[in-house]
Amino acid sequence: MFVFLVIVVAVGWFASEYFGNPIILIAAVGFSLVMNVSSFWFSSKIAITAAGAKIADEKEYRDLHNTIENLVITAGLPKPKIYVINESAPNAFATGRNPENAAIAVTTGLLQALNKVELEGVLAHELSHIGNRDILVMSVVVVLVGFIAVISDILWHVTLFGGNRDRDNSNPVLMIAGIALIVLGPVIAQIMQLAVSRKREFLADASGALLTRYPEGLASALEKIGAYQQPMKKASSATAHMFIGNPFGRNGKKGNTMRKLFSTHPPMEERIAALIGK
């Protein structure tokens, strides 16, 4: 989080130096703080709406509610709101700003594909995201990545087509460093986001296995989720990292370095191996 803020400040500082206007730096930092506060309060509603999730009726989805109620007692967490997504791809995600305002959404495909033990493993994984505060971390990270991308894009176009007309007097080192930061900033931020997401997935897998005391259940569920390669109908790059499996159906294979680098999720093979010790 600190590095993200450093990137925002660095981009804003370069813009203020380049255009000779210190207000740009103040505006960049101020706007990033506003975006952080907004993501804190509204991230869960945005994610639920983007996924097309509907509240899970307690009568229709009694088994789902019972499973979560049993797990939250063990985990010492309040019961989150439960949503269902009418989607054939097996998947699930958790969102919210804290355990008291959290939500879990599962697809109808997940409920159909998994048995009771496997479903319990997936729900324990999502509850672990809530207990580990991943839902807040990833919401704020997404906003920071998006902000860096937007401000870099704006400054890139302004630098090319306008802005400081007195370029002969500009510091060439500052110019090169600033342009490099504008070009590479979004890429670095995106890689950081993906790296954070992958680490939190491994942590949630481990925490979920500890919660159920049966890692084989989650491992079997991940195997089924990874085998389904069709993308979700409402797959979005903005929320892809929140799902237990890649919503685009691209669950990378072990050893594919470039694909792993730009993937929102670690390969299913590695996650399963970590759970069952192989």
Positions marked catalytic: 126
Among 219, 208, 197, smallest CA distance to 135 is for: 197
For the stretch 228-259, what's the b/e string if a residue is b when 16 or more beta carbons lie within 10 angstroms of its beta carbon? beeebeebeeebbbbbbbbbbbbbbeeeeeee
The amino acid that residue 201 corresponds to is E
Task: Give me the sign of the Cα torsion angle 64, 69, 75, 80.
Answer: positive
Length, in residues, of the chain: 278
* Distance set, CA 224 to CA 111, 221, 255 (Å): 12, 5, 20
Radius of gyration of the chain (CA): 21
Torsion-angle region of residue 115: left (phi > 0), alpha (psi -120 to 50) or beta?
Answer: beta
CA dist 55 and 51 (Å) reads: 12
30-34 long-range contacts, Cβ below 8 Å, gap at least 24? Answer: 31/147, 32/5, 32/8, 32/144, 32/147
